[in-house]
Amino acid sequence: MSGLVIKVYNNNVEVALKKLKRKVKDSNLFEELRKKSYYEKPSKVKREKRNLAKLRNKYVVLKEKENN
């Protein structure tokens, strides 16, 4: 990953800080750091992905029923 670069113009640090926060949020940097802070077994990662997929599918089905 390349670094995040924000340029400060006219000593306007507040605007630069706001841009930095937005870039960090959009790049999911903190989520990656949190996930990598400790080891998770591959089986646990697969199980979580599968459960999230089931949950997304559940909401899609509910939304389709609601529209019909």
Please give the model's pTM, rounded to 2 decimal places. Answer: 0.50
pLDDT digits (tens, 9 = 90+) for 14-54: 999 999 999 988 888 888 888 888 899 999 999 999 999 99
**Cα gap 16→45, rounded to integer Å:** 36
Residue 34 DSSP label:
H
Residue ranges per structural domain of the chain:
1-37, 39-68
